[in-house]
């Protein structure tokens, strides 16, 4: 887990929430974040393949829904420019409409369009997905 999880769990327990519940929430947030990052990696491969075919940026491409449901197979249609607008932020993800599980403390809906929803990971989930961002510059 990301550093700070224990202290957040301790703070929750001190505020009256049992520590095991805080730990379960942290573990679920981490699992969801890692799952979303896997879908993002698959979409990055789709984007890369489309770029190698030199398609127009306005052409609509198939991308996978990056929601928390591990079994989701929903395909979303976004243009290159729409996809890049989401990928400009390592904590932003694309979901099918109605797939965003908000209110759990690790995601909030930023924008809803006809074909997709943009969500932002927050808290520990945001830290994890930012760390796993394939576009992240790694200093050596």
Locate the domains of the chain by residue range: 5-131
- Residues with Cβ within 8 Å of 46's Cβ and at least 6 positions away in sequence, in order, are 61, 62, 63, 64
pLDDT at 79: 94
pLDDT at 25: 67
Model confidence pLDDT, tens digit, residues 119-134: 999 998 999 999 999 9
pLDDT at 7: 33
Q: What is the mean pLDDT of the chain?
A: 80
* Cβ atoms of residues 90 and 72 within 8 Å: no
Model confidence pLDDT, tens digit, residues 27-63: 777 888 888 899 999 999 999 988 888 777 778 999 9
The two tokens of residue 21 are 């519940």
* Cβ atoms of residues 77 and 115 within 8 Å: yes
Burial class, 69, CB count within 10 angstroms (exposed 0-12 / middle 13-18 / buried 19+): middle
* Cβ atoms of residues 71 and 93 within 8 Å: no
Among 93, 59, 101, which Cα is nearest to 77's?
Answer: 59
């Amino acid at each position: 887990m990301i550093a700070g999880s224990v202290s957040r769990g301790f703070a929750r327990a001190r505020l009256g929430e049992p520590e095991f519940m805080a730990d379960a929430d942290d573990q679920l947030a981490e699992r969801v974040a890692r799952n979303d990052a896997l879908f993002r990696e698959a979409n990055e491969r789709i984007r890369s393949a489309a770029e190698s075919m030199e398609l127009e940026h306005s052409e609509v491409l198939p991308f996978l829904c990056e929601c928390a449901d591990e079994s989701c197979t929903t395909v979303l249609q976004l243009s290159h420019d729409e996809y890049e607008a989401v990928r400009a932020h390592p904590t932003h993800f694309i979901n099918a409409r109605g797939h965003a599980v908000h209110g759990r403390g690790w995601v909030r809906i930023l924008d809803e369009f006809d074909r997709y929803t943009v969500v932002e990971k927050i808290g520990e989930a945001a830290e994890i997905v930012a760390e796993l961002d394939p576009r992240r510059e790694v200093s050596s």
